[in-house]
Structure 1
């Protein structure tokens, strides 16, 4: 890689995602926070803005790249960043990071699926990535899963169910402090 002083924050972020380099990512995020303060901007919002605008030449965002390369520790740091867009679509296939994670699991040997690949999918689902989103080919992540990988199918089915159940939550108005009770004591 080129001299770090010459690399842009975007380049450093993407490199950290490719190589699961947590120290490079943390250092870059810290530098962005300092830069934000110098510019009179809110650090959290500025960091999120830079992360959300960090794409490679073919339209993969930082989460796409981290998922594509199985960079679990980097994903963990990225997903802790407030304001990060987690269901961004890439430019080529209109894949979400979750689509990329499934493709990553499929690229592994069968004995690596559960210990290496499934945690990548789990962390994205836990962060709220939507497994119901369809890509350019109109496929959801579950439809990309190697048919032999029943455990991953179950993980994604559980994620879809959780999303659907979350959408069906009805807010109960009975706890409203103003209520509909009469004004008499």
Structure 2
């Protein structure tokens, strides 16, 4: 890999802060190429590098992306096989989902639905566990602004889905459910 300039860890974290998918994809491609040249499994090497990318206070790449509301970067990161999605940070023992809720709380109320909720939803869709408690013994739903009933509902549905082991039927937004038959 490059002998000069920013390290892969620094590039990953910068991409997460700035929602820079081009930088993140380029870094992932470079890591994959380096792994192949070294005779390593590229998927495992990329996942290991992403999982070890932490800032000075122990936030992993998903923590950083969630903190800054970097939706597109989250989408790209969550596509990476082997990425640890429920890692806790060093200071508050927050998961990326805790950070996402804190991000939503930091937004103006008018931005909650369009800007904030998708950050929480993408993490839940990827399998982040909303039942994990942080250092203060709080689950993400307990961090949500009490005025944000919709966010609380999203997180509660996520908890129910986890407890049911994925056996929950979720209606599509238009209210239509598919047929119970495998043949169409």
TM, length-normalised to structure 1? 0.88
Secondary structure at the residue paired with 1:166? coil
- 1:1-16 aligned at under 5 Å gives the runs 5-16=4-15
Question: Structure 1 residue 39: deviation in Å?
Answer: 1.1
Deviation track 1:11-35 (CA, whole Å, cap 9, x = no partner) reads 0000000000000000000000000
Secondary structure at the residue paired with 1:128? coil
Question: Structure 1 residue 38: deviation in Å?
Answer: 1.1
- 1:29-178 aligned at under 5 Å gives the runs 29-166=28-165
Indicate the residue corresponding to 1:17 in structure 2.
Answer: 16
Question: Structure 1 residue 101: deviation in Å?
Answer: 0.0
Distance 1:75 1:21 in 2: 10
Distance 1:153 1:117 in 2: 12
Question: Structure 1 residue 159: deviation in Å?
Answer: 0.1
Q: What count of residue pairs does the alignment treat as equivalent?
A: 166
Tell me if structure 1 keeps the 8 A contact 2:161–2:167: no
Gaps of 5+ in 1: 170-185
Structure whose alpha-carbon radius of gyration is higher: 1
| Alpha-carbon RMSD | 1.4
Question: Structure 1 residue 167: deviation in Å?
Answer: 7.3
Distance 1:83 1:121 in 2: 20
Indicate the residue corresponding to 2:175 in structure 1.
Answer: none
Distance 1:167 1:115 in 2: 26
Tell me if structure 1 keeps the 8 A contact 2:65–2:74: yes
Task: Answer 1 or 2: which has greater helix percent.
Answer: 1
Question: Structure 1 residue 5: deviation in Å?
Answer: 4.3
Question: Structure 1 residue 168: deviation in Å?
Answer: 8.0
Question: Structure 1 residue 103: deviation in Å?
Answer: 0.1
Distance 2:135 2:81 in 1: 28
Deviation track 1:127-162 (CA, whole Å, cap 9, x = no partner) reads 000000000000000000000000000000000000
